Structure 1
């Protein structure tokens, strides 16, 4: 399944990130805790260079806690700090300021020595579409300054947002990279909605998701859709889900589009339980 989605505003955003780096002290990069590798834009490392960075593994309530802890250990170093969060509930967000203080200790020490008490850190927020950047910013600002939506591509222009913890956030639109090399990366991003459903064959996508779940999380699939057994064939399992959920049209045929929409919505909403699509 070949997927490439690189609207013009994304190329512009790459230029803006590079130009605006000199205005910020640190980077907050948001990824999806369910697909930590796939939700990383590989351009971010090159664009951000050695800027201190905090990686937020958002939607960590939807991923396996054990796997998320493995990712935190794997990604952390002196210049990069990692925490699992939920940007909707705010769980984990209190850990950001201590990590930022740790990363920017030299700057804070210099300013304190000059007698400056109210130190404000300027931070750029980056990430691919639909990982929760706007939700995070709204939570930190405690009002709906940034636009939010459950479809990628909502945030378009740069804006500064003040918070109450001595931190100003620069929002940036979500960017994907021009060519998604790996089939696994393409599928993982599509499963979670980081790529617009409108450009996808969602029936084929749902079939691929069933194939993934029947291998890695068969018990979850069976429990959610009340299946007594799973076939080795994903299409047979899709048929079984359709029959269990009444997605049948005249003549007893399965309404595959309805099954696809149902399955993807329930997976994205966490109704199949905590699932990690990737491990370090």
Structure 2
């Protein structure tokens, strides 16, 4: 899947975050509860250093609570991380943010020393909706398209609590192909940058393996084929994604399925577990090591060839010098005879 992850404004956002991080007391990182790891930005982890982070696992109503609890347990022993399931539509959740922030930054919170919190997150996880909910008014543009916010804003929640919004940024290169597909399935990538059918087939493969019953119930299937392509054809047929002659339009069928996935129509789900991510990270590191070893082997194998080429060039230069010297001598002898 070819995706342009790093448009110019995201590069600018990275520099801005780097510049203001020294003024930040806490990072409020909005994550997609359905992909708790893939929606994290490893670049942000590097930029924040020792600054504590409050991770809000947004869209909790769309997430499988059992799997979500695995992530909460996974982060529980890390003192610099506080994580909570969250929904910008839940007023109780929004009201608790000040309490959670104060818990992480107990030495600030007065009018003289307000808590300076940076809101961060990848595109389309609900950052703008969170800001609007916190401030009780519309101050940030909200949209279904990723990367709506493209500039920095500083806003006062209370006298003791300030917000610094940042544009949604993705890192330059996503090394884990599984993560890139999960981001696409849940809608973090612009739909113009992906192949609908390709992404839908990856999503269907996941649901067939992990949420089989939910898939059967949603599309009223009598049986569920093992091949995602066959399942997508059935979904297209049942939901009217047809071309003339009754042939299934696979692109439209993919649109139908991905819309159901993103809106929660199939049911709550979480696409990854800590154990699964650990395995994927190990495989990515092994692939990188193998690629680097192959590169070094190619370089080593090329050394004799380069040396031979260098030797040949040297010999040719010596021959040319000798020939030139011979011609010069002949000319000098001729001059003497004359």
Taking CA–CA contacts closer than 8 Å with sequence separation of 6 or more, which of the two structures ends up with the larger relative contact order?
1
Q: 1:83 to 1:219 in 2, by over 3 A?
A: same
Q: Which residue in the other structure is 2:79 paired with?
A: 78
Offset of residue 183 of structure 1: 1.2
Match of residue 94 from structure 1: 95
Match of 1:49 in 2: 49
Looking at structure 2, the residues matched to 150 and 37 of structure 1 have their Cα atoms a distance apart, in angstroms, of 21
Match of 1:143 among 125, 137, 141: 137
Tell me if the contact between 2:9 and 2:150 (Cα under 8 Å) persists in the aligned partners.
yes
CA-atom RMSD, angstroms? 1.6
Map of 1:113 onto structure 2: none
| Change over 3 Å in CA distance of 1:182–1:277 after alignment to 2 | same
Q: Aligned-pair distance for 1:170?
A: 0.6
Larger Rg: 2
Q: Aligned in 2, Cα 1:200/1:91: closer, same or farther, shift over 3 Å?
A: farther
- Equivalent position SS for 2:28: strand
Please give the alpha-carbon distance, in whole angstroms, between the structure 2 residues aligned to 1:70 and 1:173.
29
| Structure 2 equivalent of residue 167 of structure 1 | 161
Checking the alignment, whether the CA contact within 8 Å between 1:137 and 1:161 is kept in structure 2 is: no
TM-score normalised by length of structure 1 = 0.93
Q: Shift in Å at residue 107 of structure 1?
A: 3.7
- Checking the alignment, whether the CA contact within 8 Å between 1:247 and 1:259 is kept in structure 2 is yes
Structure 2: gaps of 5 or more residues: 275-338
Name structure 1 gaps, 5 residues minimum. 109-115
SS of residue paired to 1:55 = strand
Q: Distance in 2 between matches of 1:241 and 1:121?
A: 50
Deviation at 1:151, TM superposition (A): 0.7
Aligned partner of residue 35 in structure 2, secondary structure: coil
Equivalent residue runs for 1:1-280 within 5 Å: 1-76=1-76, 77-107=78-108, 120-164=114-158, 166-280=160-274
| Deviation larger for 71-80 or 188-197 | 71-80
Kept in 2, the 8 Å contact 1:187–1:205? The answer is yes
Q: In structure 2, what is the Cα distance between the partners aligned to 1:177 and 1:66? A: 29
Q: CA deviation at 1:94?
A: 2.6
Residues 165, 135 of structure 1: alpha-carbon distance in 2 compared, 3 angstrom cutoff? farther
TM-score (norm 2): 0.77
Following TM superposition, the consecutive aligned residue runs of length 4 or more in structure 1 with deviations greater than 4 angstroms are 116-119
